[in-house]
Amino acid sequence: MAVKIIIRTPNHLGDCIMAMPMVNETREAYPGSTVTVLTPQHLADLFIGNPGIDRVLTIPTEHVHGVISVFKVKEIIAPGEFDLGYILPPSFGAASSFKLGGVKERIGYIADGRRLLLTKPLPLPTPLNSEHRSKVYFDLLRRGAGVSIDYVKPKIFLSENDITGAMKLLGGFGIAESDKYAVLAFRAVAESRRWGTENYTELARRIISQCGIKVVLVGTEENRKSGDDIVGAAKTTEGAIVNLAGKTSLRELGTICSRAVVFVGNDSGPAHLAAAVGAPIVVLSGADDPKETSPMAGKKRMIYREQLECISCVKNKCPLKGGDFMRCMKEITVDMVMSELKTLVQ
């Protein structure tokens, strides 16, 4: 009899992509099983068209966190009568909802006081944060299933429809199918990871003038105004730089990145997405910890001021003052980024 498996994904774009190897290989670990993914609604597009997934269930955005979310998730999953569940978020609530939802076997890492909610609680690798998070997720599957399977880097499956839709979107902004372009994710969510619009403006200007390619700016709706400011300040030939912030779906963004000559951004969700679709990437790393979360790209250049005592603090806001404030970002120059970028742009 086929095992009915449900996987609760992480809540953020980058983490979901780091979990892809685990998701993609679940059926390999459990031959003949059916695999359902439970994910926040805004991330569901990541899993569409994945041959390793039979069904995608979504959690409404307003119910991703909080006490009420436990009961809402229980209502979503209970009708599925799942035999086995993998719980990737380390929270008490995620494990509680699987327990209340009647998932018979519940596998997850020991964290947040939830050991008794799991039928197979597994200890995290030691020392903590010593392994790349993608491999930590994958090892949960290996250890939970008791099988030996090979790790493969994160991969997003794109379709012909994805490509057609993305090219239509680009065409509407004057980017032809034959045009070469760089993608810049110019605004990080965490304040501590922001390189600044002035730097991205100068970078865009130099990419256009020195590499002879166009520039596509990407981000959220909240970033659109900053993107417009970069376009205006760059003062380049009309159409050489376009701002798509807030105008792409996740799959459109992934497809646009897959066709780019190079991607530049912080260790962030878009960088992980670009890596998962095969784009060469330049990563500006500072407050993040690259040994744990750096995007796993085939072609990657990382700029990282490792000599700083505060490097990889993993704080969303820099706690330092004066001349020490955000040195990990301030000491990354446009010259440094261009030097690394040119090694990838052929």
pLDDT digits (tens, 9 = 90+) for 25-43: 999 999 999 999 999 999 9
pLDDT band at 53 (very low <50, low <70, confident <90, very high): very high
Q: Is the peptide bond before 127 cis (omega within 30 degrees of 0)?
A: yes
* Site of tokens 């990990």: 328
Is residue 1 pLDDT above 70, yes or no? Answer: no
What average pLDDT does range 250-274 have in this prediction? 96
Structure-token pair, residue 252:
């459109």
Element (H, E) at 202: helix 197-206
Q: Is the pLDDT of residue 346 over 80?
A: no
Residue 320 banded pLDDT, cuts 50, 70, 90? very high
179 closest CA partner among 250, 249, 256: 256
pLDDT at 194: 93
What are the E-state strand segments in 114-203? 120-122, 181-185
Question: Which residue reads 């998730």 in tokens?
Answer: 73
> Do the beta carbons of residue 13 and residue 47 sit within 8 Å?
no
State the Cα–Cα distance between residues 156 and 117, nearest whole angstrom.
Answer: 32
* Share of residues in the chain with pLDDT > 90 (%): 94
- pLDDT at residue number 130: 81
Q: 23 near 17, Cβ under 8 Å?
A: no
Q: What is the per-residue pLDDT across 65-114, written as a single tens digit (0 to 9) for each?
A: 999 999 999 999 999 999 999 999 999 999 999 999 999 999 999 999 99
